[in-house]
Structure 1
């Protein structure tokens, strides 16, 4: 099984492909300095295979590399940030308290 994550800027979402077929996506909205992740979906036939984790990790890594702060508004992205502490620093201080993340 090969996976690839692509940033579909026209639809403002990161898409994950498994063996060439789209398996899910993470929608975002950009501000000048932050990228807010608002909805993530993994199609049912791909659930339980780590596809969501791979999608979110790649989307966050790409966003950080582009210089964006991360706003994990989507429950899946928020859970990922909570369980992978190295990403908390990418969430702006003002948003950490509001989202219940460690300072």
Structure 2
């Protein structure tokens, strides 16, 4: 499975492609040097592959390299950040308390 993540600035979204097919995207808005991550969508055909975490991880890495601040309004992005605390530095310090970064629940082993 070949994957690629591209910033489609015209549509304000990071797009995920799997073997050339559009598999999902993260919608965003750019405001005052900040990127507001609004919504993550993965096509039904690809939900079994857990590509949401792959996509969000790539988006955050891209934004980190570009030294852009992140406002994680999307619950999928917030969940990812909760599990990767080192990336919370992408959120402006004055805004961090605004976002509750609660890790996604994992099933208990019995």
TM range (shorter): over 0.9
User: Given the alignment of the two structures, is residue 56 of structure 1 paired with residue 44 of structure 2, yes or no?
Assistant: no
The alignment yields a C-alpha RMSD, in angstroms, of 1.4
Structure 1 residues 45-85: Cα deviation after superposition (integer angstroms, max 9, x where no partner): 11131211111111111112112111110000111111111
Q: State the distance in 1 between where 2:87 and 2:50 align.
A: 18
Give the number of equivalent residue pairs: 102
Counterparts of 1:1-103 in structure 2, within 5 Å, are 1-101=1-101
Give unpaired runs (5+ residues) of structure 2: 103-110
2:62 and 2:40 map into 1 onto residues whose CA distance is 16
TM-score, with normalisation over the residues of structure 1? 0.92
SS at match of 1:57: helix
Query: 5+ residue gaps in structure 1?
Result: none
CA contact (8 A) 1:35 1:70 kept: yes
Q: Which protein is bigger by CA-based radius of gyration?
A: 2
SS at match of 1:22: strand
CA distance in 2: counterparts of 1:88 and 1:48, whole angstroms: 27
